[in-house]
C-alpha cells in the first residue's frame, strides 16, 4: 500500500468515529470558527498543536514555520496574525518552540544550508544577542535548550512590536502573549514568557511592523 493512502484510510476511520460519538459533529464544525488561540509553532512534524494540547478542531488557529519565528518581513505570518487578531479576535497568542529544534541547532553553526540560510539569519541574530550568556553554559545540550527558550522569548517581543497587536491592546485589551517550549523528551510544555495586554512597554517601539 502506498504510504499516502494510509492517511486517507485513517481519515475515513476518524470521521466515522466522530460521527458515532456525535452525529452532529461535522454540522457544528462546518459553522464559523471561533478559536480562542493563535498558535505560532515550529513546522517540525513531531509538534502538532492540537495533539500536544489535547485540543479539538476549531480550538486553535495555527501557523507554523521553521523554528516558530515572527519575522517582520514575513507577509504570510503577518497575514495570519492580522486575521487572527482583527477578524477572529483571538484572546491568546502562543509562540511554541521545542527542544531539539533543527532550525535552532542549525543556526548555532557556521554551515551553509543553502536557501534556508536567509531564514536562519533571524535565529542567528538571537544567538548573537545572547552569545556571551549562552557560552557561560558549559554543557552543549543545556546551551542548545537555552537558545530554544531565548528564541521563543524573542519572538514574543517581536509580536509585541507589531501594529496589529498594539492596536488590539489599545482597542480590546487583548490578546495575551505566551511563550512556550515543548519538551519533546517528556511531552510537557514549559512556560517561558507571558505578556498580558498593557504590561509591555518600550521607550523605542510603538508601531513597528
The reported pLDDT for the residue numbered 32 is 87
Active site residue 96: no
Query: What contacts 105, CB < 8 A, 6 or more positions away?
Result: 144
Active site residue 42: yes
The reported pLDDT for the residue numbered 208 is 61
The reported pLDDT for the residue numbered 205 is 63
199 pLDDT tier (thresholds 50, 70, 90): confident
- CA gap 161, 84 in Å, rounded: 16
What is the tens place of the pLDDT at every residue in 55-85? 999 999 999 999 999 999 999 999 999 999 9
Q: Which of the following is catalytic: 18, 63, 64, 101?
A: 101
Active site residue 98: yes
What is the SS3 assignment for the chain? CCHHHHHHHHHHHHHHHHHHHCCCHHHHHCCCCCCCEEEEEECCCCCCHHHHHCCCCCCEEEEEECCCCCCCCCHHHHHHHHHHHHHCCCCEEEEEEECCCHHHHHHCCCCCCHHHHHHHHHHHHHHHHCHHHHCCCCCHHHHHHHHHHHHHHHHHHHHHCCHHHHHHHHHHCCCEEEEEEEECCCCEEEEEEEECCCCCCCCCCCCCC
38, 93 contact by CB (below 8 A): yes
Q: Which triple of cell numbers denotes residue 25?
A: 459533529
Q: Phi, psi (5° rounding) for residue 93?
A: -120, 125
Q: Which of the following is catalytic: 63, 96, 98, 178?
A: 98
Q: Phi, psi (5° rounding) for residue 145?
A: -60, -40
Asked whether the predicted pLDDT for residue 188 surpasses 80, the reply is yes
pTM metric for this prediction: 0.92
Q: Which of the following is catalytic: 22, 46, 56, 133?
A: 46
Q: Which of the following is catalytic: 18, 22, 27, 42?
A: 42
Asked whether the predicted pLDDT for residue 150 surpasses 90, the reply is yes
Active site residue 46: yes
Q: Which of the following is catalytic: 44, 63, 96, 178?
A: 44
What average pLDDT does the chain have? 94
122, 97 contact by CB (below 8 A): no
Strands 92-98 and 176-183: parallel
Active site residue 121: no
- How many Cβ atoms from other residues are within 10 Å of residue 53's Cβ? 17
- CA gap 145, 6 in Å, rounded: 35
What is the tens place of the pLDDT at every residue in 8-63? 999 999 999 999 999 999 999 998 899 999 999 999 999 999 999 999 999 999 99
Amino acid at each position: 500500500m502506498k504510504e499516502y493512502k494510509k492517511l486517507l484510510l485513517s481519515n475515513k476511520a476518524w470521521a466515522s468515529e466522530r460521527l458515532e460519538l456525535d452525529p452532529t459533529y461535522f454540522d457544528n464544525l462546518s459553522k464559523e470558527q471561533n478559536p480562542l488561540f493563535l498558535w505560532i509553532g515550529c513546522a517540525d512534524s513531531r509538534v502538532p498543536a492540537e495533539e500536544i494540547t489535547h485540543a479539538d478542531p476549531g480550538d486553535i488557529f495555527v501557523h507554523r514555520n521553521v523554528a516558530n519565528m515572527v519575522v517582520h518581513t514575513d507577509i504570510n505570518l503577518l497575514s495570519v496574525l492580522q486575521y487572527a487578531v482583527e477578524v477572529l479576535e483571538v484572546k491568546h497568542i502562543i509562540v511554541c518552540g521545542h527542544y531539539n529544534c533543527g532550525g535552532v541547532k542549525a543556526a548555532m553553526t557556521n554551515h551553509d544550508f543553502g536557501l534556508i540560510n536567509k531564514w536562519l539569519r533571524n535565529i542567528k541574530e538571537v544567538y548573537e544577542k545572547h552569545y556571551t550568556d549562552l557560552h557561560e553554559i558549559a554543557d552543549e545540550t543545556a546551551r542548545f535548550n537555552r537558545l530554544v527558550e531565548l528564541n521563543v522569548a524573542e519572538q514574543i517581543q517581536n509580536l509585541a512590536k507589531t501594529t496589529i497587536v498594539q492596536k488590539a491592546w489599545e482597542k480590546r485589551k487583548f490578546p495575551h502573549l505566551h511563550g512556550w517550549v515543548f519538551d519533546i523528551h517528556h511531552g510537557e510544555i514549559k512556560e517561558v514568557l507571558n505578556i498580558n495586554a498593557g504590561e509591555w512597554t518600550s521607550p523605542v517601539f510603538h508601531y513597528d511592523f
